[in-house]
């Protein structure tokens, strides 16, 4: 826990200062998780705001202060899921599908070492986003929380309120799909290289 | 470990490093409080509207109750039962004529 239970209790009782402290303590971590979940840096803050807005209006439903973190993660997962679903409905391109023009401009500008490093990071982000695009939004979120955020199965169990075995099965299947996509990507790259 | 698995592990670790926690913008908290206030005022408006509607419904019900209670009772055609009317007539006219009774008794069965 990044804060003590007393602060959560005060926020639950309607103390605005306590709620502000709560948000300030968690916002960076939550924004980071959202960034890795949705893969669109420009929308991270909006989704983050949605999470804390939902937190404000649902704090009174919190059973006890001890379950605050899983509760906050559940709100994060739900907000990220809603966002990804909206994006799919709109048919917008994901970060992995950035226009070629953007990439070429960035490549041309990548002269300095810092820029090269940023370019490398962008490539990693795009590659992983493209791989994660092969699984459903729900599995993508689960996979990110487990494999990238490093949450344990026990923590995921509390967030999803699903038993550990069901989570293991879903994770295994999602991972297999990503591995399959990775193999296909490698085959495509090899085919391009030999052509 | 399967090389593909190892490659995925490496990629995911690199992704974690390539996506650091972003710094929240300076207006994060003011914007959040603005949105909270916006929703709260909307909820307040909605509650106020609901209260007005409920109040109006209660007032209308009371008004209808008063109007119905003060209305003249409807004119009724029958104030007593058939048997009561018959009994009243009988007592006014007195007992039946003995001749009529005798005729009745003479009718063969």
Bigger pLDDT: A162 vs A111: A162
The boundaries of every CATH 1.10.1740.10 domain in chain A are 1-94
- Where do you find CATH 1.10.10 in chain A? 133-195
Residue from A69, A59, A65 nearest A6 by CA: A65
Q: Which residues of B touch A (CB under 8 A)?
A: 4-5, 7-8, 11-12, 14-25, 28-29, 31-32, 35-36, 39
Q: What is the DSSP string of A23-78?
A: HHHHHHHHHHHHHHHH--GGGHHHHHHHHHHHHHHHGGG-S-GGGHHHHHHHHHHH
Out of A27, A44, A53, the one facing B39 most closely (by C-beta) is A53
pLDDT one-digit tens code per residue, B61-108: 999 999 988 887 766 667 778 888 888 887 776 666 666 666 666 666
Q: What mean pLDDT do residues B7-32 have?
A: 91
Query: What distance in Å separates the CA atoms of residue A114 and residue B79, rounded to the nearest whole number?
Result: 105
The residue of A124, A126, A130, A178 whose CB has the most chain B CBs within 10 angstroms, and thus the best one to mutate to test that interface, is A124
Residues 6+ apart with CB under 8 A from A175: A143, A147, B8
Residue of A nearest to B37 (CA): A53
Q: Is A86 helix (H, G, I), strand (E, B) or coil?
A: helix
Residue bearing tokens 């990693």 = A124
Compute the distance between CA of residue A68 and CA of residue A61 in angstroms, rounded to an integer. 11
pLDDT tens figures, A6-26: 999 999 998 999 999 999 999
Q: Among A62-76, A105-119, A138-152, name the one with the lowest average pLDDT.
A: A105-119
Whether the CB of A25 is below 8 Å from some CB of chain B: the reply is no
Task: Please tell me which of the candidates B4, B19, B24 has its beta carbon nearest to residue A36.
Answer: B19
Tell me which of A17 and A1 has the higher pLDDT. Answer: A17
The average confidence (pLDDT) of chain B is 84
Nearest chain A CA: its distance from B10 CA (Å): 10
- Chain A CB contacts of B31 below 8 Å: 49
- pLDDT at residue A118, rounded to an integer: 86
What CATH code would you report for A133-195? 1.10.10
As a whole number, the mean pLDDT across chain A is: 85
CA A91 – CA A138 distance, rounded (Å): 17
Residue A105 has pLDDT above 70, yes or no: no
Return the exposure string of A145-161: e unless at least 16 CB atoms fall within 10 Å of the residue's CB, then b. Answer: bbbbbebeeebbbbbbe
pLDDT-above-90 percentage for chain B: 43
Range A1-94 classified under CATH 1.10.3430.10:
no
Chain B residue with the nearest C-alpha to that of A56? B36
What's residue A112's pLDDT? 77
Query: Tens of pLDDT along A60-83?
Result: 888 888 889 999 999 999 999 999
Task: Name the residue with higher pLDDT: A109 or B73.
Answer: B73
């Amino acid at each position: 826990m990044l804060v003590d239970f007393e602060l959560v209790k005060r926020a639950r009782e309607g103390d605005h200062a306590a709620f502000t402290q709560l948000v300030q303590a968690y916002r960076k971590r939550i924004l980071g998780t959202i960034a890795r979940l949705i893969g669109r840096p420009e929308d991270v803050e909006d989704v983050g705001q949605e999470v804390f807005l939902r937190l404000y209006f649902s704090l009174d439903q919190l059973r006890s202060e001890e379950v605050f973190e899983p509760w906050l993660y559940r709100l994060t997962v739900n907000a990220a899921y809603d966002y990804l679903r909206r994006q799919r409905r709109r048919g917008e391109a994901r970060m992995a599908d950035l226009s070629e023009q953007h990439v070429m401009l960035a490549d041309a500008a990548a002269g300095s070492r810092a820029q090269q490093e940023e370019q490398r990071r962008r490539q990693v982000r795009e590659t992983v986003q493209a791989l994660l695009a092969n699984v459903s939004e729900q599995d993508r979120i689960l996979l990110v929380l487990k494999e990238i955020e490093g949450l344990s199965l026990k923590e995921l169990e509390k967030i999803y309120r699903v038993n550990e075995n069901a989570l293991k099965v879903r994770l295994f299947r999602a991972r297999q799909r990503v591995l399959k996509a990775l193999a296909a990507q490698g085959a495509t790259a090899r085919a391009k290289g030999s052509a | 470990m399967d090389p593909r698995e190892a490659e995925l592990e490496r990629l995911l670790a690199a992704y974690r490093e390539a996506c650091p926690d972003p710094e929240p913008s300076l207006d994060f908290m003011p914007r959040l409080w603005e949105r909270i206030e916006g929703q709260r005022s909307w909820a307040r408006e909605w509650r106020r509207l609901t209260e007005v509607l409920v109040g109006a419904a209660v007032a209308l019900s009371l008004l209808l109750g008063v109007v119905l209670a003060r209305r003249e009772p409807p004119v009724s055609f029958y104030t007593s039962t058939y048997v009561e009317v018959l009994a009243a007539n009988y007592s006014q006219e007195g007992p039946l004529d003995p001749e009529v009774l005798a005729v009745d008794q003479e009718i063969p069965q």
